[in-house]
Structure 1
């Protein structure tokens, strides 16, 4: 790597966008230091990212293309271990990625997603009733806890056939996976709990298959004598789909609500019909990406980007949050939340071969949840000054720990 001292990424994510600005000032490709002293190249230019994310010289498979992993320098106690150790389409490359993605895509079809809309609407209505009850007599309500979080977790749990009594445990595990400042004991305990829950789910669905994605993936696992999807790939694919299938949507919904509550003029555009809820969703995805940074990719060969040489075997961090606010792409007001902005194109669901399969479901949930929330509570206001809403402790997940609100008159 070059001689410039790397930017040390704050594992607690206390200032995602300030850090993104500091990253961009170092150039579109900059050295960073991740937890545990692991170095990588962070790419923050949306135009360069589009090229990089479709470049066959870039891999997500550490076992084949990351010498730091191959040489045994990564311990299971590393906070990002589960992000690189899993065996699923998230960490696959080339033919292996195509094989795994095809199997998942067969279960995660557009038809299955579209058919979920009535159930998403029903869950939303029920949750809003609970929100109303919690906010009676002017009580402060944590909208992340009572609405933004339970909607996606219930949808994804039902989609995968996860029993209701295991959902709280699953949520706790996924929160820990995204907790990038976790200590070694938490990291190893999370890993063990994770596979215990997923193993129990697979065992239950083998005994009693249902019309759910877990059963569909098990069928793919057992197709052709079990050669299509290994047992580890099955478990890790479940981890990927369940965790990514709710955490990003939680942040999308909550960040959109926060943006509208702190930008009255933008809220007025939506309420008057001058902007649509799709405008809100896409501008939120651009301006406040639900996943701020995504580890990791690896250079299969030497790659030159914007005059910077990324050498074979070096790690790459995709800086989605920094890219979404790039002034060279979006202008001097790139930091500003503006639902009337012409260019809202973003990379928050990825790009190329690894574009998120769950993006249609995330958008569907937000399209149902946001208008229903503001129609039910038109007097919704933030209960604390904007600066007092604290971020979650992660440089990957970009959301708030709580979203305290007053509901106002229904």
Structure 2
């Protein structure tokens, strides 16, 4: 989910970033010339993600700074870009309407959507996993959960993708206003014609006398919609690619699909869709990973580098090993900002991967891996397309 990190670009990960002797290093932003700190070691990253001395209040950090941008406040001032007690209040209100129980109840719907999409795949031939499953599945689920009309979903998905268009600030700014305007109108419509979707419940949710303001409602709607499918789309594609590149691991899951839920943790560690956590800055001088972070300095946590830190994930952290105990990975973050939608993302990925493995036993890449294109974004990492060759299983052969 985009926030004011667009004003303070994430520094490029240096080639030596995984040097465990230096888990936190000073880096200089190419655009502003400001010195920030890049966290690549696992222990330091875990500390940083949960350390209250690192603020996410981007509005306070950028106050008085002219960025030349015109991002809508619904995108820059989300729950992700706030600290307690404001963050605590918003999360408590949202959690009441977005529970693990609700996700469990949605599993039949997720399975139905997955099967409908896979039914459109040819019995034999080439498909694009991103366009034909990884994107439409989470978009359909989150839009259904929020109550976004089916006719509006393609445009909403396009705006969401444009929010991550690195190097195109005008496109990002325009998309932020389009998304906010749409959600404002949708909330007004739900007030006049209440239903039982998540967004309807957020409109009426209360904690005593407390309730969400109009600006908070729009911001949360945008956050849930974007965060509710972007990373899941990227993870399904990246996880399947990792399995395709290690046929023995893929064959093991195909023989025993019941292992898929457990395998997800190693797949999340190995193929996390989140490259870098959203913006933080130090509210006071303190030491992180042996490096002194001065007050006011921006800090970026490199999630993917931390989840490949050999000090934590040996041996061979770059290798997918489904027997590895990957508990404690940082793909969903850590601390009070840990991803609220983790149960939903897990359910969607589990159901999608299990269905692909059982229905298409001879799945293989249609092009060499080096020909695959990745979306040019900094916060998240995902494939533009994943072309594969498929052959459906026969009734007596899974």
Q: Using structure 2 for the length normalisation, give the TM-score.
A: 0.90
* Structure 1 unaligned regions, length at least 5: 1-6, 11-18
Contact 1:173 1:194 in 2 (8 A): yes
Q: Using structure 1 for the length normalisation, give the TM-score.
A: 0.87
Contact 1:295 1:317 in 2 (8 A): yes
Q: Which one of the candidate residues 182, 188, 193 is aligned to 2:178?
A: 193
Counterpart of 1:73 in structure 2 is 66
Q: Aligned-pair distance for 1:278? A: 2.2
Q: Which one of the candidate residues 120, 138, 142 is aligned to 1:152?
A: 138
Q: Distance in 2 between matches of 1:272 and 1:372?
A: 13
Q: Which one of the candidate residues 351, 370, 381 is aligned to 1:368?
A: 351
Q: Distance in 1 between matches of 2:363 and 2:268?
A: 22
For the pair 1:316 / 2:299, whether they are aligned, the reply is: yes
| Number of corresponding residues | 383
Tell me: CA distance 1:151–1:385, structure 2 relative to 1, closer, same or farther (3 Å).
same
For the pair 1:27 / 2:13, whether they are aligned, the reply is: no
Considering only aligned residues, what root-mean-square deviation do their CA atoms show, in Å? 2.3
Q: Which one of the candidate residues 256, 260, 273 is aligned to 2:239?
A: 256
For the pair 1:87 / 2:87, whether they are aligned, the reply is: no
Q: Which one of the candidate residues 165, 178, 183 is aligned to 2:164?
A: 178
Q: Distance in 2 between matches of 1:43 and 1:82?
A: 29
Q: Distance in 1 between matches of 2:327 and 2:337?
A: 20
Tell me: CA distance 1:145–1:57, structure 2 relative to 1, closer, same or farther (3 Å).
same
Any idea what SS the aligned residue of 1:406 has? strand
Counterpart of 2:324 in structure 1 is 341
Contact 2:127 2:389 in 1 (8 A): yes
Q: Distance in 2 between matches of 1:309 and 1:299?
A: 11
Q: Distance in 1 between matches of 2:30 and 2:130?
A: 27
Tell me: CA distance 1:40–1:88, structure 2 relative to 1, closer, same or farther (3 Å).
same
Counterpart of 2:6 in structure 1 is none
Q: Distance in 2 between matches of 1:107 and 1:274?
A: 31
Q: Deviations over 1:98-130 (max 9, x none)?
A: 101001101101221111011011111101001
Higher percent of residues as helix: 1
Counterpart of 1:291 in structure 2 is 274
